[in-house]
Amino acid sequence: MSADTQTTFLGMPPFPEAAVHALADEQLRANLHRATSTIRAKRADVIGELDDWEGLRQRAADIKDRALHGLDEHLVQLEEQLTARGVTVHWARTGEEACQIVGDIAASHGVDEVVKVKSMATQEIELNEALEARGISAWETDLAELIVQLGHDLPSHILVPAIHRNRTEIRDIFLEEMGQVGRPAPDDLTDDPAALAEASRLHLREKFLRAKVAVSGANFAVAETGTLVVVESEGNGRMCLTLPEVLVSVVGIEKVVPTWDDLDVFLQLLPRASTGERMNPYTSTWSGVTEGDGPQECHVVLLDNGRSRALADEVGRQALRCIRCSACLNICPVYERTGGHAYGSVYPGPIGAILNPLLKGVGHSDQVDSLPFASSLCGACYEVCPVKIDIPSVLVDLRAQVLDVRAVVVGFDPHFSYMKLTKALRYLRANARAAELQVEAVEGSGAAGDGAFDLICTNPPFIADDAGRTYRDGGEDLGAALALDWARQALPRLTDGGWFILYTGSAIVRGEDRVRDALQALASDAGMTLS
């Protein structure tokens, strides 16, 4: 695929804006309802077969918490075991570092294409786009991922990335796009699922047979044995893990589990919670290089990319238990009506609403900061999560964090009497608590403090009105001068969509035109409007 056909989540609007467009798409809502309803029903059936599902959930949560508590030790053990088995282990602090590592490995073998196992971690770091920039095509081999890639689209679900597409749309994509990048789809292709699957197999077979380098992720990484694990439904992943000469696996550091026995719990939980199956059709494990069998050069890139930040969050760190099952997406009423694209990330739905702010931090992006509010807090996500992530509690905590970093600065000019200032601050703080806002109150004649703010308001001395009333000492021209001085300092400090509120106290003031014209000029220079 050419670089100009690549799509990215970068620059997508905040959730409320994106959701408006999604809600207007009736076909999208119909596709989502049909798919999520089917998955929910299958999940309920297979979970109902187990005698102690809740006990299994608790064991899984305990294992992941134990792994996270001793993450540094488990990662060192994992590296030692992998290295002993002929694997080259790399550490990547950021997505950019991981992309550089993978790109360098591919370039060292002189390839212009790689095949990929479905991987959330590589989507998270936008590896495909990074390789494309270096002249290396990355071919997705999972059927749903292939649909997304050929359609120049973005994934909208963790488990079923093309859940927003129906069979007719998929057929049209195959007919239009397959021939542009490889073996074309049959001219008489129908929208029968078996026919679509066969067309994808024939298309991908050529790529499997000629690929020298493959890229994977991992569902789990066993520290005790140095074993990586991938579970899938189609077998395309196994083709990538066995046929190429070189295998590069990008693995989030939170994927570590301490022992081989721990896998038993997750291999029971994951298929039931995700696809509604008793077990995964394909479970692949590998532990390095075996002479004459499979890839003869193996690399593992251990990826942080904000995971250490999430681990440091006492409430939010439980999100790192996530095993990417999608159960929370399939039950969420918000996701079912808006789809995954509205979340602006490869991690959509309830888990995306907490994982993205935890990995990226709050206070840097309106899009990311909007996600903790993309929830009704109904609690259904917690009830179905196989590793017992209390998503509603994390959402509430993240909302508070967003409000903390987006603090309101309220300025009081020095002519305000001390008694009135004290009283105003008391009312301000009480109202802020009631509205669940974090307020920083600053006394001064300018926009004090650091950073940008959603709201700055000031109450300078009243400007005298036409009757000559100044209302208190310090009015007349001084009031106008202070008002304009505040505006000059405040307007550059506002966030996108922020407000500067100026309270003059009189509806009609002397010199109104002069003050208004000056404010209009300041607002225009700052790219704002005066109302």
| pLDDT of the residue at 315 | 95
DSSP E strands in 217-352: the ranges are 220-222, 227-232, 246-252, 256-257, 282-286, 297-303
Last residue of a domain, one of 311, 346, 380: 311
| pLDDT of the residue at 530 | 72
Quick one: 106 and 246 in the same domain? yes
DSSP state of 509: B
Pairing label, strands 227-232, 256-257: unpaired
Number of helices (H), then strands (E), in the chain:
22, 14
Q: Do the domain assignments include residue 219?
A: yes
Q: Do the domain assignments include residue 349?
A: no
| pLDDT of the residue at 142 | 93
Q: Do the domain assignments include residue 212?
A: yes
- Enclosing H/E stretch for 497: strand 494-502
Report yes or no: 290 and 78 within 8 Å, Cβ to Cβ: no
Quick one: 99 and 230 in the same domain? yes
- d(CA 368, CA 358) in angstroms, rounded, equals 10
Which residues have C-beta within 8 Å of that of residue 399, sequence separation ≥ 6?
372, 373, 436
CATH code: domain of residue 469: 3.40.50
- Tokens for 165, please give them: 């597409």
Quick one: 11 and 114 in the same domain? yes
Last residue of a domain, one of 259, 292, 311: 311
Q: Closest Cα to residue 373, out of 33, 10, 14, 29?
A: 14
Quick one: 300 and 195 in the same domain? yes
Q: Do the domain assignments include residue 206?
A: yes
**21-56 burial: b if 16+ Cβ within 10 Å, else e:** ebeeeeebbebbeebbeebbebbeebbeeeeebeeb
| pLDDT of the residue at 426 | 65
Q: Do the domain assignments include residue 443?
A: yes
- d(CA 154, CA 343) in angstroms, rounded, equals 11
Q: How far is CA 136 from the centre of its chain?
A: 25
- d(CA 141, CA 451) in angstroms, rounded, equals 45
- Enclosing H/E stretch for 53: helix 53-69
Is 0.85 topped by the overall pTM?
no
Q: Do the domain assignments include residue 378?
A: no
Q: Do the domain assignments include residue 253?
A: yes
Quick one: 133 and 248 in the same domain? yes
| pLDDT of the residue at 139 | 96
- d(CA 169, CA 459) in angstroms, rounded, equals 58
- Tens-digit pLDDT string for the chain (531 aa): 433 445 667 667 888 888 888 888 888 888 889 989 999 999 999 999 999 999 999 999 999 999 999 999 999 999 999 999 999 999 999 999 999 999 999 999 999 999 999 999 999 999 999 999 999 999 999 999 999 999 999 999 998 899 999 999 999 999 999 999 999 999 999 999 999 999 999 999 999 999 999 999 999 999 999 999 999 988 899 999 999 999 999 999 999 999 999 999 999 999 999 989 999 899 999 999 999 999 999 999 999 999 999 999 999 999 999 999 999 999 999 999 999 999 999 999 999 999 999 999 998 888 999 999 999 899 999 999 999 999 999 999 998 888 777 654 444 444 444 445 556 666 666 666 666 666 665 554 444 455 667 777 776 665 555 555 444 444 455 666 777 777 887 788 777 777 777 766 543 344 455 667 777 888 888 777 776
Q: Closest Cα to residue 266, out of 203, 222, 300?
A: 222
Q: Closest Cα to residue 237, out of 281, 269, 279?
A: 281
- Its domain, for residue 216, covers 3-18+51-311
| pLDDT of the residue at 385 | 97
Q: Closest Cα to residue 130, out of 106, 154, 150, 148?
A: 106
CATH code: domain of residue 227: 3.40.50.10420
Q: Do the domain assignments include residue 471?
A: yes
Which phi and psi (to 5°) does residue 272 adopt? -65, -40
Quick one: 299 and 439 in the same domain? no
Quick one: 143 and 285 in the same domain? yes
Quick one: 212 and 63 in the same domain? yes
Quick one: 307 and 424 in the same domain? no
What angle is formed at CA 453 by the lines to CA 450 and CA 456, rounded to 5 degrees?
105
Report the domain count for the chain. Answer: 2
Q: Among positive and negative, which fits the CA dihedral 157, 195, 217, 103?
A: negative
What angle is formed at CA 280 by the lines to CA 279 and CA 282, rounded to 5 degrees?
140
- Tokens for 397, please give them: 């905590």
Quick one: 300 and 419 in the same domain? no
| pLDDT of the residue at 516 | 73
Pairing label, strands 282-286, 227-232: antiparallel
Quick one: 244 and 95 in the same domain? yes
Task: List 116's β-bridge partners, or say none.
Answer: 140, 215
| pLDDT of the residue at 407 | 54
- d(CA 515, CA 333) in angstroms, rounded, equals 50
Last residue of a domain, one of 311, 337, 364: 311
- d(CA 36, CA 298) in angstroms, rounded, equals 37
